[in-house]
Structure 1
Amino acid sequence: MINVFQPSLGVDEAEAVASVFTSNWLGHGQRTQEFESAFGEHLGVGAEHLMFISSATAGLFLAARLLDLGPGDDVVMPTISFVSAANAVADSGARPVFCDVDPHSLNPRVADVEQALTPRTRAVFLLHYGGHPGEVAAIAQLCRDRGVSLVEDAACAVASRSGGQACGTFGDIAMWSFDSMKTLVTGDGGMLYVRDAAMAERARYVAYHGLRRGSGFSSARVSGRWWELDVTEFGWRVLGNDVTAAIGCVQLAKLPSNIARRREVAQAYDRLLDGMAGVRLPPPLPERDENSHYFYWVQLDPAIRDQVAADLLDNDIYTTFRYPPLHKVPAYQSGGEFPDAEWAAESTLLLPMHQALTDSDVQQVCTTLSTSVTGRQAGDEARI
């Protein structure tokens, strides 16, 4: 099977985990701090603004809490987005307000976001679709002009940049995902970025039960009755740990080479699929933007898209579509009209994209896709 997503793990990661076992400290500790510091260098921000957490989804829920979202507040987000973003907003009591997207990049345009703003809008949750930066700089400026907080869901954009600036650092809060299928993997895990220093400090309390002072051994030498609790705000336990952070440090070191290989795969797809009848390629990346290449997608006639996916699966090539429009999810049914997003959702197919793909894998995907599209188009013409 040629998988649509696939991690690359090996001896280096296993040795890093073994060293954590030897240290006899598996929780949130030295390796976690090392990972936060290294990731800060990768982004160009201070480690004090970052926190390794259990998942990007936890980061979305933390963002809603840190912004004190609640009943009466609106939060704008693209309808082509992962359900956890809408879940985090709705859980706070605020209302998700969906906006349309560009039909080919599947990222929201500035005009889409602006049109969805209401007098009650407190925040915009922006997704970088498949690692493509989108119009992040312009949307960030719009949010500043309107006095609205910007949360960047950079789950797919671990190495993406726009104009030389790391995606995730344009807004007020951001999170990255390191789950088992992402570009940088820790099994489960994520990183939270908070621009404001006071809010970043608050995030650490909320992420660990609301504790403003640890109640364990680390507090024993600095406070009497260190076991007593200092909690002034309710919180969760969504911290990362040294086992997964050790994996993350190794994966971060490998990130440049993994991104380079993903770029080669994307360029191979561009070359092999260029001019193929009935197949539309992703839009080109603007100059000075960098893509994490988490997704590579093609767009087909909606009448044959699902059949082509089935043909590829029959040939041991797994494809998929991410993300089904949220305005059609039963829990979030919306009366709005999102024609570009709906067209994109019916025509877009994600091809295998990961650094473990060989040149022959890519060739096989393209050949099988061409055969399927050609055959399905001929079948439709015959029926007509």
Structure 2
Amino acid sequence: MIHMFQPSVGAKELEAVGKVFDSNWLGYGQQTKAFEKDFADHLGVPPETLLFVNSATSGLGLAIELLNLGPGDDVVLPAVSFVSNASTVAATGARPVFCDVDSRTLNPSVADIAAVLTPQTKAVTVLHYGGLPGDVIAIAALCRERGITLIEDAACSVASTVNGRACGTFGDIGIWSFDSRKIITTGDGGMIYVRDTELARRAHRLAYHGMEDRGAFAAAAKEPRRWWDQQIHEIGRRLIGNDVTAAMGRVQLRRLPDFVKRRGAIMAEYDWLLADATDIQRPPRLPAGHVSTNYFYWVQLDPEIRDEVAEDLLRRGIYTTFRYPPLHRVPLYGSAADLPGTDAAAASTLLLPLHQALTDTEVQRVARELLAAVDARTHRRAA
């Protein structure tokens, strides 16, 4: 089976984890802080504005918690989003409001977002689909103008930039994912960026039971007597990462440029192999100044054959998928939104395998089998 996603981990990651074992400190400690600093350098932001957490979903939940949302508040997000973007909002009693996306880029435009803003809108969440930055500059400007918090779900965009600026840093809060399917992985884990330094300090407290310091060792460094006492003023949870996974993340981050370069080469090969296929639309070109992490490679097919082509490929040992099923169609949220761009994208889009461990032979096989499946299904429909 040729898989959609596959991690690239090995001896260097094992060596880093082994050193953590030897240190006898596995929790949140020096490796975690170093990972936060490394990632801050990667993004170009102050280290104190970042926090390594146990998942991107935890980061999204923490972002919503920082905004003190509740019943009567609206949060706008594209319908093509991962479910946690909506569920973390709904869990507070606030209302997820879904906006449309462009049927080709699967990203919302500033007009799509503006069309669904209400007087109750407290936040907007955008997803950079597949690593494509989207209309983030204009969306950030709109949110600033309206006094609305902008949250960037940069889970797929660890190396995406616009005019040299990292995706996830245009808004007020950004979240990245390091789960097992992402380009760099810590098994599970994520990073949250909070632009406002005072709000970032609150995020650190909420992520560890409301405590100012994470454990007696940290407190003892500041207070020589009764260092075990805690000043806790609000309820928090345990969302923090640890040194074992952070050590792995530091190695993965150093490997990121090579990962992105290889993925870009795979995308270019797909483009070349599928260039003459009139029944297959390839991903749209990036605008000037935009750099993608190359997380997804998607094709768009006649909706009449898309599902059948996916089934044919699966039988031939090639796993494809569509991410993310539109949330305005999920019964839980009770949305009656009319989103034609989203519906068109959801009916026609198919993601092809893309990970840095794919060989050229496997890429050629995927393209060859896709072309054969589309040709067979198209001729069968025409017969």
Q: Do Structure 1 and Structure 2 share a fold, with TM-score over 0.5?
A: yes
> CA RMSD for the aligned pairs?
0.9
Specify the alignment match of 2:283 in structure 1: 282
Which piece of structure 1 moves more, 118-127 or 327-336? 327-336
Give the whole-Å Cα distance in 2 for the aligned partners of 1:284 and 1:272. Answer: 16
Give the whole-Å Cα distance in 1 for the aligned partners of 2:372 and 2:82. Answer: 31
- Following TM superposition, by how much is the alpha carbon of 1:229 offset from its aligned partner in structure 2, in angstroms? 3.0
Q: Secondary structure at the match of 1:92?
A: coil
**Contact kept in structure 1, 2:6 and 2:181, CA below 8 Å:** yes
Specify the alignment match of 1:135 in structure 2: 135
**Contact kept in structure 1, 2:168 and 2:174, CA below 8 Å:** yes
Pairing 1:333-348 to 2, within 5 Å after superposition: 333-348=334-349
Specify the alignment match of 2:362 in structure 1: 361
- Following TM superposition, by how much is the alpha carbon of 1:39 offset from its aligned partner in structure 2, in angstroms? 0.6
Give the whole-Å Cα distance in 1 for the aligned partners of 2:170 and 2:139. Answer: 9
- Following TM superposition, by how much is the alpha carbon of 1:140 offset from its aligned partner in structure 2, in angstroms? 0.4
Give the whole-Å Cα distance in 2 for the aligned partners of 1:4 and 1:207. Answer: 32
Pairing 1:266-345 to 2, within 5 Å after superposition: 266-345=267-346
Specify the alignment match of 2:96 in structure 1: 96
Report the residue type matching 2:327 in the other structure.
Answer: L
Specify the alignment match of 1:155 in structure 2: 155
Specify the alignment match of 1:228 in structure 2: 229
Q: Secondary structure at the match of 1:285?
A: coil
TM-score by length of 1: 0.98
Q: Secondary structure at the match of 2:115?
A: helix
Q: Secondary structure at the match of 2:98?
A: strand
- Following TM superposition, by how much is the alpha carbon of 1:225 offset from its aligned partner in structure 2, in angstroms? 2.6
Specify the alignment match of 1:116 in structure 2: 116
1:27 aligns with 2:57: no
Give the whole-Å Cα distance in 1 for the aligned partners of 2:78 and 2:164. Answer: 24
Report the residue type matching 1:286 in the other structure.
Answer: P
Give the whole-Å Cα distance in 1 for the aligned partners of 2:218 and 2:230. Answer: 14
Q: Secondary structure at the match of 1:116?
A: coil
**Contact kept in structure 1, 2:124 and 2:149, CA below 8 Å:** yes
Show CA shifts across 1:92-134 (max 9, x none).
Answer: 2211000000001000011100001001100001101111100
- Following TM superposition, by how much is the alpha carbon of 1:214 offset from its aligned partner in structure 2, in angstroms? 4.1
Specify the alignment match of 1:77 in structure 2: 77
Task: Specify whether residues 261 and 214 from structure 1 end up closer, same or farther in structure 2 by C-alpha distance, changes over 3 A only.
Answer: closer
Report the residue type matching 2:41 in the other structure.
Answer: E
Specify the alignment match of 2:60 in structure 1: 60
Report the residue type matching 1:81 in the other structure.
Answer: S
Specify the alignment match of 2:250 in structure 1: 249
- Following TM superposition, by how much is the alpha carbon of 1:215 offset from its aligned partner in structure 2, in angstroms? 4.4
Give the whole-Å Cα distance in 2 for the aligned partners of 1:279 and 1:258. Answer: 26
- Following TM superposition, by how much is the alpha carbon of 1:46 offset from its aligned partner in structure 2, in angstroms? 1.1
**Contact kept in structure 2, 1:215 and 1:226, CA below 8 Å:** no
Give the whole-Å Cα distance in 1 for the aligned partners of 2:22 and 2:217. Answer: 19
* Structure 2 portions without partners, runs of 5+: none
Give the whole-Å Cα distance in 2 for the aligned partners of 1:246 and 1:215. Answer: 20
Which piece of structure 1 moves more, 99-108 or 219-228? 219-228
Which piece of structure 1 moves more, 269-278 or 238-247? 269-278
Specify the alignment match of 1:18 in structure 2: 18
Give the whole-Å Cα distance in 2 for the aligned partners of 1:165 and 1:102. Answer: 23
- Following TM superposition, by how much is the alpha carbon of 1:254 offset from its aligned partner in structure 2, in angstroms? 0.2
Specify the alignment match of 2:9 in structure 1: 9
Q: Secondary structure at the match of 1:374?
A: helix
Report the residue type matching 2:361 in the other structure.
Answer: S
Give the whole-Å Cα distance in 2 for the aligned partners of 1:125 and 1:290. Answer: 20
Show CA shifts across 1:122-176 (max 9, x none).
Answer: 0001101111100011100110111100000000000000111100000000100
Show CA shifts across 1:164-210 (max 9, x none).
Answer: 11000000001000000100100000001000010001100000011
Report the residue type matching 1:331 in the other structure.
Answer: L
Report the residue type matching 1:86 in the other structure.
Answer: A
Show CA shifts across 1:295-342 (max 9, x none).
Answer: 100000111111100111111111011000001112112111011101
Task: Specify whether residues 344 and 247 from structure 1 end up closer, same or farther in structure 2 by C-alpha distance, changes over 3 A only.
Answer: same
Task: Specify whether residues 293 and 221 from structure 1 end up closer, same or farther in structure 2 by C-alpha distance, changes over 3 A only.
Answer: closer
* Structure 1 portions without partners, runs of 5+: none
Report the residue type matching 1:303 in the other structure.
Answer: E
**Contact kept in structure 2, 1:308 and 1:369, CA below 8 Å:** yes
Give the whole-Å Cα distance in 2 for the aligned partners of 1:30 and 1:215. Answer: 13
Q: Where has structure 1 moved over 4 Å in runs of 4 or more?
A: none
Q: Secondary structure at the match of 1:252?
A: helix
Give the whole-Å Cα distance in 1 for the aligned partners of 2:220 and 2:104. Answer: 57
Task: Specify whether residues 361 and 229 from structure 1 end up closer, same or farther in structure 2 by C-alpha distance, changes over 3 A only.
Answer: same
Give the whole-Å Cα distance in 1 for the aligned partners of 2:210 and 2:160. Answer: 33
Give the whole-Å Cα distance in 2 for the aligned partners of 1:71 and 1:234. Answer: 20
Which piece of structure 1 moves more, 173-182 or 325-334? 325-334
- Following TM superposition, by how much is the alpha carbon of 1:274 offset from its aligned partner in structure 2, in angstroms? 1.1
TM-score by length of 2: 0.98
Give the whole-Å Cα distance in 2 for the aligned partners of 1:236 and 1:198. Answer: 19
**Contact kept in structure 1, 2:208 and 2:214, CA below 8 Å:** no
Q: Secondary structure at the match of 2:126?
A: strand
Give the whole-Å Cα distance in 1 for the aligned partners of 2:193 and 2:349. Answer: 31
**Contact kept in structure 2, 1:215 and 1:228, CA below 8 Å:** no
